[in-house]
Amino acid sequence: MRHSGGVKSPLDQQDWDELKAAAVEVMRRAYAPYSHYPVGAAALVDDGRLVTGCNVENAAYGVVLCAECGLVSQLHASGGGRLTHFVCVNGDGEVIMPCGRCRQLLFEHGGRDLLVWTVSGVKPMSEVLPDAFGPDDLTSLAGAGTEGAR
């Protein structure tokens, strides 16, 4: 699936279904020997590219990589850009919600307008992660200095 870049237009249901199919395909390559909970993620980039990722578990549970981490790694390995549309699925191919850490990761690379297929329909990231902390918050702090900090 490749869409014309530069303009973020709403996807029709067929496009969303194709994006979900890409997530299901990559989910089948997940490495989940401990939880037995494979996850696949797929997203469109603002230049029309498709990026995907699957979860990769580890015996040291704290170093597990969520599917979204692989997706963002592929985003940057293939040229960067901004995510515009996103979906993730479980081992049954059902749409699932990204965990809190991954919502923050997606916000960083797609912003508040990133469209996310959630368990209750398509929503902008601003609704999936309201009042998110992002790069602009760091910029505003840097300019403020230390006055008033306690």
CA atoms lying within 13 Å on the CB side of residue 2:
2
Give me the pLDDT at residue 6, please: 45
> What CATH superfamily classification does 13-142 receive?
Cytidine Deaminase, domain 2 (3.40.140.10)
* CA nearest neighbour of 34 among 14, 54, 19, 55: 55
Reported in sequence order, the residue ranges of the chain that DSSP labels E, i.e. its strands, are 40-45, 50-54, 83-89, 115-118, 121-124
Give me the pLDDT at residue 11, please: 85
Q: What is the pLDDT of residues 20-35, one digit of tens each?
A: 999 999 999 999 999 9
The model's pTM is 0.87
- Which residues does the annotation mark as catalytic? 68
High-pLDDT (> 90) share of the chain, %: 80
